Chain A
């Protein structure tokens, strides 16, 4: 994995398909995808506020570096602090809702957030904020795509490893117990509300960092990047990678970015009338096809291949954290 990332500036443009910009975005989207995997895949909380927490991080960095000339590194931390506070306030009422009512309520939050980004005077409205200060280490400015790709992926790898450890640890087991049954979980001494709250805050932190990185990378923040459909896009990536797979996230992200690039390139020649609007259809089709035929995502497919290749039969549930177990939830 480290080698794959280290050589990214070489192989990614060599595909003639994806650019290094896609590589940087993939690192950022991996952070966002991880937040959804923790929330939806492992804890069973269909919370769809990613665009808001991501936007909060991005706008915090943009506003504080442009208006107040603060150091961008510092603004990442401030963004995280704001997001933690926001998540705590939001979690108190919302996380008491069950299943799809949580989904609908959080979607409401997502829409309110988007409206506020568009309307609040402090965000620059639909025009957004330009001229975000790039990050720098000492006198070395991180502004080239290559440098930023490394930075984004170092953060993404740390987050991947962190989440991996989290899942196999005490909190991770508590999360999965809650997903199975909150009543059963509380009967063995887990406090479901506290665990859900921690996951919610953690997800907000991940997407806040992603938002701040995005703001310093593009140097420009506008509401279009934080619409509800962006949350849906990340959801599609996570479903493709495998809702219950931490390492599936980067694969899902790259798969969708590649699909997007392919549809942008070849779509118009296939369906001339559609022009560049085709990706949205592609996302929907991919989402449905994966949920119908491969609900465990690429991760479960890889696992199945690996098992048939090595011939190690074993019980199917030998690795409960990966695989098509999403379909087993019956609540």
Chain B
């Protein structure tokens, strides 16, 4: 049971990262290899504003988290404007390599600042872990579940109820038609990057007390998010969430129950699934459950 809760916590982060990838890809056709680095930046920024665990106390946590999300979101938008936007006609492969460059720069800058130390953040609410159904679950994990759930509901309302959200979907479905009714698809490239970066930063901020933050956590997160996305069938946000949580639970079980001799290989597990799914069911496993796009 404890492993299940740990898996669900990881799964929530996978889901948020995967959603970021999905939003960017649906609007721009770019696979953003820096997505996981935005999670890392969100964690680092929250720690910077709130004060590292055991160090000086900074801003109140809620302020720090909101500030971190806003800063990273703005950074995502700015990076898109300055780096990708001028070359957006270059084709997906070149743009993908450019996001690899962005990822290198982000990781490098954080590495220079933190010199490869890992930092923790204090729990959102102090207190001992709870016992539920015979397993233990930390209060921070409950925060992760709550924040992820709230973010998903907010996203759903945003895409289905607001004008900007509907314009987003218009850009995904048909950029040309969207531009005919007064929506500028190219502007939504920037919005998509900003939104996805903010979402990832939120994930980073809530997970920071659990996992701590290091400069190089991004790549694995990007790939886990990608597994979630692929599992979920590439177009459906519901699928991504199910895929992300499912992957997280599977990871938790693998970490918990793998025979000792194979523990060293546990890191490779999500990628084995990734390749298996890409090869066997490129349209995703959960597609039939959720046919709708964002």
Interfacial chain A residues near B87, Cβ < 8 Å: 291-292, 295, 327
- Chain A CB within 8 A of B135 CB: no
Give the contacts of B260-294 with A (CB-CB under 8 A): 264-265, 267-268, 271-272, 274-275, 278-279, 282
- Bitwise, B84-109 to A at CB < 8 A (1) or not (0) is 00110111111011101111111111
* Cβ-neighbour of B93 out of A94, A100, A107, A108 (below 8 A): A100
The segment from A211-219, A282-290, A298-306 found at the interface with B is A282-290
* Cβ-neighbour of B116 out of A112, A277, A285 (below 8 A): A277
Given A100-B31, A116-B265, A287 and B101 contact (CB-CB distance below 8 Å): yes
Quote the shortest CB–CB distance from A91 to chain B (angstroms): 12
- Chain B CB within 8 A of A210 CB: no
Quote the shortest CB–CB distance from A219 to chain B (angstroms): 25
Interfacial chain B residues near A281, Cβ < 8 Å: 104-105, 108-109, 111-112
Asked if A275 and B98 make an inter-chain contact with CB atoms under 8 angstroms apart, the answer reads no
Quote the shortest CB–CB distance from A63 to chain B (angstroms): 18
Asked if B93 and A287 make an inter-chain contact with CB atoms under 8 angstroms apart, the answer reads no
Interfacial chain A residues near B223, Cβ < 8 Å: 104, 107-108, 111
Interfacial chain A residues near B116, Cβ < 8 Å: 277
Q: Please, how many angstroms separate the alpha-carbon atoms of A120 and B91 in the complex?
A: 39
- Chain B CB within 8 A of A147 CB: no
- Chain A CB within 8 A of B219 CB: yes
- Chain A CB within 8 A of B179 CB: no
Interfacial chain A residues near B92, Cβ < 8 Å: 99-100, 331
Q: Please, how many angstroms separate the alpha-carbon atoms of A93 and B277 in the complex?
A: 11
Interfacial chain A residues near B272, Cβ < 8 Å: 108, 112
Closest to B113 in A: A273
Quote the shortest CB–CB distance from A62 to chain B (angstroms): 19
Give the contacts of A262-285 with B (CB-CB under 8 A): 271, 273-275, 277-278, 280-285
- Chain A CB within 8 A of B157 CB: no
Which of A104, A277, A278: most chain B Cβ within 10 A? Answer: A104
- Chain B CB within 8 A of A26 CB: no
Interfacial chain A residues near B226, Cβ < 8 Å: 104
Interfacial chain A residues near B101, Cβ < 8 Å: 284-285, 287-288, 291
What count of chain A residues pass the 8 Å CB interface test? 50
- Chain B CB within 8 A of A50 CB: no
Given A44-B93, A100-B92, A292-B86, A112 and B268 contact (CB-CB distance below 8 Å): yes
Q: Please, how many angstroms separate the alpha-carbon atoms of A291 and B94 in the complex?
A: 8
Given A93-B279, A115-B265, A104 and B274 contact (CB-CB distance below 8 Å): yes
Known: A277-B111, A291-B101; 17 extra A-B contacts, CB below 8 A, are A96-B279, A97-B278, A99-B92, A104-B230, A105-B279, A107-B223, A109-B271, A111-B271, A112-B268, A115-B264, A277-B116, A280-B111, A285-B101, A287-B100, A288-B98, A292-B83, A292-B86
Could you give 15 example pairs across A and B, Cβ below 8 Å?
A: A93-B279, A97-B278, A103-B31, A109-B275, A235-B97, A277-B112, A280-B108, A281-B112, A284-B102, A284-B105, A288-B105, A291-B94, A292-B87, A327-B91, A331-B91
Binding site for B on A (CB under 8 A): 40, 44, 46, 93-94, 96-97, 99-101, 103-105, 107-109, 111-112, 115-116, 118-119, 125, 228, 232, 235, 239, 271, 273-275, 277-278, 280-285, 287-288, 291-292, 295, 326-331
Can you list the 3 inter-chain pairs with the closest CB atoms, starting with the nearest? A284-B104, A281-B108, A119-B264
